[in-house]
Amino acid sequence: MERSVEELLKEKKIYQVINKKLVQAPPDVSVKSAIEVMQENKSGYLVIAENKKIHGIFTETDVVRKILGGSDVDWNLPVSDFMTRDPLVLKPNDSVEKAINLMGDNRFYHVPLVDDEGQLAGVLSVRTLIRFLAEFYPTEVFNLPPNPGQVMQSPEGG
């Protein structure tokens, strides 16, 4: 029997959907280099960690809310002064459903992943989740017409 989407979301594990990319830096890097690393990697986050131990997460929201526009911010200060400390984490073995609940409820864009020993093991982005959901319906969702009300009356050019 075919399983429902809900059941599939419970079965599917985070490690099965994430991409391997992880952008990280140690807590003592300057705000200036942290932002450069994010820009170079086109990432909206930077996991702040040392020896696989997570100290915090520094995100584009932190950049906009705490850094930009303020002339009094010293860009040479360490990123740890501005990061969000001890962020919530998930495990690679947690279900996609759990990730959807956590990220939807807390409005996170990125959640660091830790293994059973508490060591940094990756990162899950909200876009990975939504892409996963979109791929759930490869045929159905992709075939939605540009305007759902639209019905083709004749073949193209016919």
Partner 1 sequence: MKIKCPTCSYENIEGTDRCAECLHSLMQRDLPSPKSNDSLQKAMMTAPVSALLTGKDLLVADISDPIEKIIRIFQKKQKNCVLVYKQKKIVGIISNRDLLRKVAGQGQNLSEVTVESVMTKNPEVVTAEDPIAFAINKMGMGGFRHVPVLAEDGTPISIISIHDVLHYLSSGHK
Q: In the complex, which residues of this chain contact partner 1 (CB under 8 A)?
A: 2, 4-6, 9, 32, 35-36, 38-39, 42, 44, 60-61, 63-65, 67-69, 75, 97, 100-101, 103-105, 107, 109, 126-127, 129-135, 137-144, 148-149, 151-156, 158
Give percent helix, percent strand, percent coil of the chain, each to the nearest 5.
35, 20, 45
Least distance (Å) between residue 97 CB and partner 1 = 8
CB closer to partner 1, 117 vs 138:
138
Chain Cα centroid distance, residue 130: 10
Least distance (Å) between residue 127 CB and partner 1 = 6
Among residues 24, 22, 21, 3, which one has the least CA distance to residue 12?
Answer: 3
- Residues 61, 67, 71: CA angle, nearest 5 degrees: 155
* 47 touches 123 (CB < 8 A): yes
CB closer to partner 1, 38 vs 47:
38
Least distance (Å) between residue 90 CB and partner 1 = 14
